[in-house]
Amino acid sequence: MFNWVKTSILMAGIVALFAVVGQLIGGAQGMMIALVLGGAMNLWAYWFSDKMVLRMYRAQEVDATSSPYLYNIVRDLAGRAQLPMPKVYIIDEPQPNAFATGRNPEHAAVAATTGILHLLSERELRGVMAHELAHVKHRDILISTISATVSGAISSLAQFGMFFGARDERGRPANPIVGLIVALLAPIAAMLIQFAISRTREFGADKGGAEISGDPNALADALAKIHSYARGIPMETAERHPETAQMMIMNPLSGGGLQGLFSTHPDTAERISRLRAMATGRV
């Protein structure tokens, strides 16, 4: 419940930021134009991004015949979660990782790399796939799409203000210093809120996945292994398309970038600690 409250507050914050930036840079008309354009782009992404991402990673769909091990794990967990059976994919990548995609539970897919299949035990893999199914159950793809829509619209407004100058309600040039400050800082603020939403949803999927699998320690053990191994194994596709990093159960980018506020994923040690607490009944 706390994660949903926090997500709601963050979503309200990014929408409020959009309204303020829109008024300062483009006035009401500029704000609406940016929102419509950003919404159209992300609506298209919401419907088709799953196919794009799976194609991008050259994911191969498998079934009970071609990969009974992974497929049966997902089928059992989907039944426990009372979800429709998602499509199952394998990605030929040595880095251990996994992700879920799809616009709703009826059109969902889960994908695992060959690296994670080789690294984890069956119990740990169940924990990971339960985490991905929790994303599906919580409709986190929708949430991330909405936050990306507003964040993208804010960036568009900021670029408009940078090149054409801020305008007031009557179309008159606004204070250029204010416009420049907003143009520089607004996209950063939007990105921070978007990343905070992503981290919150990861915590929610950890909790939901532990409940689906019935074994919080399985996911905790898996996260510890993935964190240890993934850092030393690059994922070239993710490095070419860093916007996909937030989809993974663990940040796939080598070098990691800035931590904390600028991370799409929560601190692994904190994720593990929360799962251990769940296992002992302390939360």
**132 an active-site residue?**
yes
What tokens were used for 47? 């419907």
Question: Could you give the count of Cα atoms lying within 13 Å of 113 in the half-sphere of its Cβ?
Answer: 23
- From the list 93, 124, 132, 202, the catalytic residue is 132
> How many other C-beta atoms can be found within 10 angstroms of the C-beta atom of residue 165?
15
> How many other C-beta atoms can be found within 10 angstroms of the C-beta atom of residue 194?
22
Are 219 and 275 contacting, i.e. CB atoms less than 8 angstroms apart? yes
Q: Please tell me what DSSP assigns to residue 192.
A: H
Are 132 and 77 contacting, i.e. CB atoms less than 8 angstroms apart? no
Are 211 and 80 contacting, i.e. CB atoms less than 8 angstroms apart? no
Can you say whether residue 82 is alpha, beta or left, with left for phi > 0 and alpha for psi between -120 and 50 degrees?
left
- Cite the DSSP H helix spans in 96-248: 114-119, 122-137, 140-164, 176-213, 216-230, 236-240
CA distance 222 to 232: 16
Checking DSSP bridges between strand 87-91 and strand 108-113, what pairing results, if any? parallel
CA distance 110 to 280: 29
Cα separations (Å) of 226 from 45, 121, 283?
29, 12, 24
What tokens were used for 12? 């309200």
Distance of CA 8 to the CA centre of its chain: 16
**CA neighbor of 199 nearest in space, from 266, 269, 131:** 266
Residue numbers annotated as active site: 132
